[in-house]
A and B are shown apart, each in its own frame.
Chain A
Amino acid sequence: MKIYADNAATTRVSKTALDAMIPVFTEMYGNPSSLYSLGQEAKEAIENAREEIAGIIGAEPREIIFTSGGSESDNHAIRSAAELGKKNGKCHIISSAFEHHAVLHTLKRLEKEGFEVTLLDVHENGIVDPKELENAIRPDTCLVTVMCANNEIGTLQPIREIGEICRNKGVLFHTDAVQAVGHIPINVKTDNIDMMSASAHKFHGPKGIGFLYASKKVRLSNLIEGGAQESGRRAGTENVPEIIGMAAALKEAVSNMEENSKVMCEARDRLIEGLSEIPHSALNGDRDKRLPGNVNFCFEGIEGESLLLLLDDKGISASSGSACTSGSLDPSHVLLAIGRIHDVAHGSLRLSIGEDITKEETEYIIKSVKEVVEYLRSFSPVWRDLTTGKKQFIL
């Protein structure tokens, strides 16, 4: 059996998206900046895509700019807000401890440039407390950036509430919605969002394309200087085929959202139930306020990379927050942020299932994970110390 359970890393391009893209490569290949009809056709196609995407998230077309993906969108949004803030003497930014590195590393860089950054606690359940956010806002706060859904543990943040607080205080609010767009309903108007990052390959679109929504009241800085594309904010010939593919993928994801979500939530809940039967294991992140497809567990006494390799042998593709899977010495900052200590965080497993998951596959995953965990524990000196009472169980 082959089961792809790493949809939070990337997804397969849908047939709809692929079909939409192919003729753009070979037939509608004109440069959108050219004035002849082949170019203007391409121009019209990307503007239609912009309109479609804007409509889906409740924005105006001119509030969407196409980017290379989530990381670029995050960088561009935060940089722009920081620049605006600096002009007004506001150099304080609020974020959360478990943001994606595209956000955290940009903030680190801004700290070196003189900005002050407050990272909010995400608590044991992996959710920011809006009250704590409100208390952290200062007169010199220029931006709040909190993700919509966490990429590792899938926890959903109270975006609307955060947005409302920011609006009342006159602070810009950006959200990295890379894991959320196409999976849960989002409307930038009703959710009080000023800027939002999205990436196509997380919702069955192609890699290397994404978008940034920026409310018309936000003046984005010019990320790439050059031609007049994207109103001069991001020069360079547009990635026409992928823009078309992204719009097609998003349209499809949103129109099937309810149905997909039902299938995924059902499988997710069964996986959580089944994996909870493994002794000395724990679900990471809130049980209910999480993405439909996200399951993340820690298993005491084993290490994540060996777990992944053995699951791969059984045909299951998954991921882990173990240090060994990242090439660094520390396990996932997300797991540490929710209070998992190193010893336990190394033994984590993230399953991010797709909407095509079957009941049979769900049961196969449960059975396989149980087998592999038991096997690895059978010769783990840590497990021996735990079971013989030399060490105290944490989970």
Chain B
Amino acid sequence: MALYSDKVMEHFRNPRNVGVIEDADGVGEVGNAKCGDIMKMYLKIDNDIITDVKFETFGCGSAIASSSMATELIKGKPVSEAMELTNKAVAEALDGLPDYKMHCSVLAEEAIQSALDDYHKRSGK
């Protein structure tokens, strides 16, 4: 389908890091069902390194692909690096998104940031 890049379709068809982390150190959820997109991110953090990350997403193809790509971009990275993740980086890693789908990458960035905020709150940092 020409709607999306091959990379988007590949991540949509085989999303990485799908699921839940029961004992997560940080959880973030953004979006709302009214708009048609919700992303939830779970982080496992050890020694300031993101050792594991999982996501759940309700949304369109690009929302699922953006979630998947965002988890790949931060997995194994220091928290400080993950905090720098931008929606642009997510979209670029997916070889671009259609203009009207850019908000999906924004949502992915926000979901990660929200999970990191939760981690900081919990750990008192």
Contacts and interface: CB of A to CB of B under 8 A. Distances in A.
Interface residues on A, range: 20 to 34
B13 A343 contact: no
Contacts of B13: 310, 313
B65 to A, nearest CB: 10
B36 A303 contact: yes
Interface string B23-42: 00000010001111111100
B61 interface: yes
Interface SS of A by simple majority: helix
B2 to A, nearest CB: 12
B69 to A, nearest CB: 15
A342 interface: yes
Nearest to A344: B33
Contact of B64 (A306, A322, A384): A306
Task: Identify which of B9, B33, B59, B61 gathers the most chain A CB atoms within 10 Å of its CB.
Answer: B33
Contact of B33 (A309, A312, A382): A382
Nearest to A345: B36
B12 to A, nearest CB: 7
A342 B40 CA distance: 20
A329 B35 CA distance: 6
B57 interface: yes
Contact of B36 (A309, A327, A331, A341): A331
A253 to B, nearest CB: 30
A301 B61 contact: no
A381 B40 contact: yes
Contact of A381 (B1, B12, B56): B56
A256 interface: no
B106 to A, nearest CB: 14
Interface string A305-346: 110011011000000001111010101000000000111001
B73 interface: no
A379 B33 CA distance: 14
A137 interface: no
Interface string B82-105: 000000000000000000110000
A383 B58 contact: yes
A349 to B, nearest CB: 14
15 contacts: A302-B58, A303-B60, A306-B12, A306-B59, A309-B12, A325-B60, A327-B100, A329-B35, A342-B35, A379-B15, A380-B57, A381-B29, A381-B40, A383-B58, A384-B56
Given A301-B58, A324-B60, A384-B20, 17 more contacts: A305-B60, A305-B61, A306-B12, A306-B60, A306-B61, A306-B63, A309-B61, A324-B101, A342-B34, A343-B34, A379-B57, A380-B58, A381-B39, A381-B56, A381-B58, A382-B38, A384-B56
Interface of B: 1, 9, 12-13, 15, 18-20, 29, 33-40, 55-61, 63-64, 100-101
